[in-house]
Amino acid sequence: MKKISYLLIIVLCIGILHSCSDEFLNVPNNENLTDSSFWQTKEHALQALTATYGAMHSASGSKWAFFEEVYTAMAYRADDVTNNTGETYSRSLASFSNTTEDTGPYNIWQSSYAGIGRANQIIQRIPEMQALSQVDKNTIVAEAKFLRALYYFWLVTGFENVPLVTTYETELDRLFVSQTTPDKIWEQIEKDLAEAEPNLLTEHSSEWKGRATQGAAKALLGKAYLFQEKWSQAEVKLGEVTGMGYSLLTNYADNFNGAAENGNESIFEIQFSGDRANGNDERQVFNFQVSPYAFGGWELFYPSDWLVEEMKTDLTTGGEISERVYESIFFDDPNSEMYSRDADAVVAYSAVSSDLNHPKYFKKYAFNQDVSFYNGTNIALIRYADVLLMYAEALNENGKTDQAIIEINKVRERGKAAPLGTMTQSQLRDQIRHHERPVELAMEFGIRWFDLYRWQRGSTATESIKTTLENHNKPFVENFQDKHILYPIPLQEININTNLKPNPGW
């Protein structure tokens, strides 16, 4: 049987991946590593861990695979984003005309299983290493379990029916396994996070910022409970995060401009580097993708009409549009401004409106950091504002609506929106689903579509995705079928592993 060289995978990843803090990115030349010489030192263990984090960029470490394939595949079907139909990336997903051969879902599958395979290897090999203290072993294995849970979270919410592989296999045929049921994947996610949590650090030194912490494990576990409508467990676990010292940044925009990376509001981020260390390019490109053609950008996608109109209702106590809206979108409003690379200045919408190709743009991550539009700003996967909103949702579903409003108002007040008054449970549920979460978390990685997914799949006030998309005037919604709730199992994978079965309707 054909053997897999996992060491080769790790060595290649070390050379091309940049995962955590800039210090964490610095790795030595590894050309002389062999199967017998690896897994000998603490440095080797950390290099393997770096490769496991690196799968978040993509299986190969390419930033383009992440931004043009993984991100767009996760974002374009939702009601808060409208794609530029003149650009090909994930265009078929946005119009619900995709096939089993589309590359976006394939890249999500490939990246997730690459990360899972690397995590499995760490979980098996690290305990055998003599060069590590028991504390180091426990911490590194815990981080690998956190990452494995994260990658399985992406898979189960995107595809549902996926193989569960938790052992390090060197025989390729042993990886040709059948899919398991979603409940088994959720069980594994919960198990990994519960085992990881006590062995993770509460905070890393500046050299290792970006690695998973106890707070990240608690937050992801709370999110997993929320997706399964385990409201009581979600309330407890997310409540634990609120007691860990996290806080909302004073300035909403600092979550996206690089001013507070891995800071007080950050619970877990995908790390990017602003340079091209060791000949590699791991800068992020959202600035380029969201900026208008008139500013030298690509304008790959836009805020949807529904989102902009909903944001216009997010008002201050004085009746003005809130600060978090102005820091999220660039639109036809006297107070709306955005950085223009061509002007090398912040410009008012009114000054450039005649030059714009589209009437509205996202401006998160669009800041003056690099004349080429590229920068090293990290992308938040879980921030404290999201935790507070998830916590509020769990509280509300547990009948604690007044307490839930208190938590939501913390987020609103930071964004300079007026506090909510008294609401019923049903009213607050709708407010959370169709205002608070999309307004606060617009276009953020892997959030809105999967919120819509869980509200359709759940039994608590179930909402049809298609109905929501119709109500919010999603383009091409007439093409939406039940099969589009899930990604198709990639045809490339079915051709390799004949034990895989297509998802329903595909």
Residue 33 has a pLDDT of 62
Mean pLDDT, residues 401-415:
99
> Does 6-212+486-496 match 213-444 in CATH topology?
yes
Q: How many residues does the chain have?
A: 506
Mean pLDDT, residues 436-451:
97
Locate the DSSP E strands across 153-234.
none
Residue 280 has a pLDDT of 55
Cα→Cα distances 336→192, 251, 322, Å: 45, 17, 11
Between these two residues, 421 and 274, which has the higher pLDDT value? 421
- Output the CA angle 225-415-258, nearest 5 degrees: 85
Q: What is the pLDDT of residues 250-259, one digit of tens each?
A: 999 999 998 9
Average pLDDT for the chain: 90
What gap in Å lies between CA 420 and CA 431, rounded to an integer? 10
Q: b or e along 113-148 (b: 16 or more beta carbons within 10 Å of the residue's beta carbon)?
A: bbbbbbbbbbbebbeebeebeeeebbbbbbbbbbbb
What gap in Å lies between CA 447 and CA 256, rounded to an integer? 16
Maximal C-alpha separation, the chain: 71
Residue 228 has a pLDDT of 99
* Of the ranges 162-171, 222-231, 295-304, 334-343, the best mean pLDDT one: 222-231
Mean pLDDT, residues 2-28:
38
Residue 365 has a pLDDT of 83
Fold of 213-444: 1.25.40
Return all residues near 312 (Cβ < 8 A) that are at least 6 apart: 321, 325
Q: What is the pLDDT of residues 328-358, one digit of tens each?
A: 999 999 999 998 877 778 999 999 999 999 9
Q: How many CB atoms lie within 10 A of CB 412?
A: 22
Phi, then psi, of 321 in degrees rounded to 5:
-65, 140
What gap in Å lies between CA 464 and CA 480, rounded to an integer? 11
Mean pLDDT, residues 137-142:
98
Residue 281 has a pLDDT of 55
Per the confidence metrics, is the pTM higher than 0.95?
no
Least confident of 2-6, 293-297, 417-421: 2-6
Which DSSP symbol is given to 67? I
Domain locations in the chain as residue ranges: 6-212+486-496, 213-444
Which DSSP symbol is given to 375? B
Q: Measuring CA to CA, which residue among 82, 77, 68, 87 is closest to residue 361?
A: 82
Residue 444 has a pLDDT of 95
Q: What is the pLDDT of residues 174-189, one digit of tens each?
A: 889 999 999 999 999 9
Residue 8 has a pLDDT of 37
Q: Please check whether the domain covering 6-212+486-496 is classified as CATH 2.40.50.100.
A: no
- 378 contacts 272 by C-beta, under 8 angstroms: yes
Residue 60 has a pLDDT of 76
Q: Is the pLDDT of residue 285 over 90?
A: no
- 440 contacts 411 by C-beta, under 8 angstroms: yes
- 301 contacts 364 by C-beta, under 8 angstroms: no
Mean pLDDT, residues 87-93:
90
- 195 contacts 26 by C-beta, under 8 angstroms: no
User: Within its chain, how far is the Cα of 430 from the centroid?
Assistant: 23
Q: Is the pLDDT of residue 300 over 70?
A: yes
What gap in Å lies between CA 166 and CA 124, rounded to an integer? 10
